[in-house]
Amino acid sequence: MQENEITYKIRGAIFKVYKYFGPGLFESVYEEALCHQLQWDGLKVEKQVDVPLYYNGVKLNSKLRVDILVEDSVIVELKSVKEIEPVHHK
């Protein structure tokens, strides 16, 4: 499956979860529900994955922890905020 197909399914799952719960819950609730929906939709999902970081070919001691990794290729970072700020688009 190509990344465009994966992200299409992810967006669909996000809308299903949001339509069901609406706004105002903690990120952990949306994360659990989204992972369930993505798996229901037939995608491989991992939660809270440590991703190694490299700089100039050197592995750093720091790690990046991503909220959801889908099909070993797409990172989903969840945000549950009152308003979307410019920093959330990065």
Measured distance CA(78)–CA(70) in Å, rounded: 13
List pLDDT tens digits, range 8-55.
Answer: 999 999 999 999 999 889 999 999 999 999 999 999 999 999 999 999
pLDDT category of residue 71 using cuts at 50, 70 and 90: very high
Question: How would DSSP label each residue in the chain?
Answer: --HHHHHHHHHHHHHHHHHHH-S---HHHHHHHHHHHHHHTT--EEEEEEEEEEETTEEEEEEEEEEEEETTTEEE-----SS--GGGG-
Measured distance CA(5)–CA(1) in Å, rounded: 6
Domains in the chain: boundaries: 3-89
